Amino acid sequence: MLMRNPHFRHKIFRIVPPLVDTLLLASGITLMVMIEQYPTTQAWLAVKLSALLVYIIFGILALNRINNMKVQAVSFVAALATIYFMYSVARAHHPLGILLTTLSA
């Protein structure tokens, strides 16, 4: 989208991202129920699911057909950073994730 490639105007690129986002959210909620760890009792899970919603918002901004390339680029980088943060929260099982090692150093 940032390169303004005409191939990204295809209908499939409007359908697949929301489908993937919905699948990610549904998978997260299903896994939460299966392992019986709920955001009200596990702070790290609440942060991870909240970060997933933030990632979806950044993804929408990055892939939207707005004319502001700067907003798209910043949203893309922020979406990648949010994915990394979610990964670090899941690995550490701590709400601060990567920030925990950064702040303690």
49-63 per-position pLDDT tens digit: 899 889 989 988 888
Separation of alpha carbons 7 and 81, rounded Å: 26
Domain housing 76: 6-104
In a domain, 57, yes or no: yes
Written as six digits, the tokens of 92 are 């550490």
Number of domains in the chain: 1
Q: What are phi and psi of 84, to 5 degrees?
A: -65, -40
pTM: predicted TM-score of the whole model, two decimal places = 0.77
Q: Examine residue 20 and state whether it is found in any structural domain, yes or no.
A: yes
Q: Could you tell me the pLDDT band of residue 41, with boundaries at 50, 70 and 90?
A: confident
Range in 37-41, 59-63, 91-95 the model is least confident about: 37-41
CA dist 29 and 13 (Å) reads 25
Tell me whether residue 25 is in a domain.
Answer: yes
Supply angle C-alpha 25, 27, 31, rounded to 5: 120
Is 58 a domain residue?
A: yes
**Does the residue 36 lie in any domain?**
yes
Evaluate whether residue 1 is within a structural domain. no
29-60 CB burial, b ≥16 within 10 A, e <16: eeebeeeeeeeeebebbbbbbebbeebbebbe
